[in-house]
Structure 1
Amino acid sequence: MTETKDRCAGTLFSQIRGIFAGLGILGRDLVISHDGVSYRVSCDEKSFVVYRVNSDSGTKHHVPGWPVCMVSSDVIFEECSSPYIGRDHCACGLDLEKWLEIIRNHNARGLPSP
């Protein structure tokens, strides 16, 4: 997959749906742990979303979580590409391509997901 900044949202989302369908996980919710943080990942006919689950009782204890990556037919959002959000100490720092690699590895290992 080429870099997201060179892609239109609709084309990119179609490719992501194809990846999820090919892995047999389209429409399923995954829970993935990366660097000690839990993320909920899903892709369906409407959107692809990576959502950080906030289990920390520190600075953002009042927030249950937040999206770190989202692609739909008309939106591409990557937390790490946002000028101010990406510098937050809670930002994941991962772009879409890295998330897709993590998801492929997670699926290849056959790890259980809810």
Structure 2
Amino acid sequence: MKSGHPSQNPPGQQPIDVLQEFVGVFVSKGWLNQTIRIRHRGGRYSISCSEKQFFAYRINDNCSVSPGFPGWPVCIVTHDRMTDDAAMSSLASTEPDIREWLRCFRDGDFELI
């Protein structure tokens, strides 16, 4: 995994604006300051959102991986930074990007597990 470079900000949006969008969605669902587990596009994720950050963590489904590697972060949005898997990985990412995460939660395109 690369050290990570912040993703390109969506046009006209700063990290704080995107974080506030996540916060609004999570407040409306009653999930702010909680950790939830979801299934989205065939993957399992641990998701948390607070007024300080949105964090999506991919849960490794491969049982043969050593216990030290239970998963990896795929999206982090804070007041001053946005980073997703495409920016953190040297390989082509199949993980949702920041905009896809917002759409996923707004549209209910996931399964709580």
TM-score normalised by the chain length of structure 1: 0.72
**Could you say which residue in structure 1 is the equivalent of 2:91?**
87
Cα distance in structure 1, aligned partners of 2:15 and 2:25: 15
| Consecutive unaligned residues in structure 2, runs of 5 or more | 1-7
1:95, distance to aligned residue in structure 2 (A): 0.9
**Could you say which residue in structure 2 is the equivalent of 1:96?**
98
Which one scores higher on RCO, CA 8 angstroms, separation ≥ 6? 2
Whichever residue aligns with residue 62 of structure 2, its letter is D
**Could you say which residue in structure 2 is the equivalent of 1:64?**
70
Percentage of identical aligned residues:
27
Aligned length: 103
Per residue, is there more helix in 1 or in 2? 1
SS of match in other structure, 1:87: coil
| Consecutive unaligned residues in structure 1, runs of 5 or more | none
Cα distance in structure 2, aligned partners of 1:95 and 1:50: 10
Quick check: 1:53–1:64 contact (8 Å CA) kept in 2? yes
Cα distance in structure 1, aligned partners of 2:48 and 2:104: 13
Change (3 A) 1:93 1:37: closer
**Could you say which residue in structure 2 is the equivalent of 1:15?**
21
SS of match in other structure, 1:48: strand
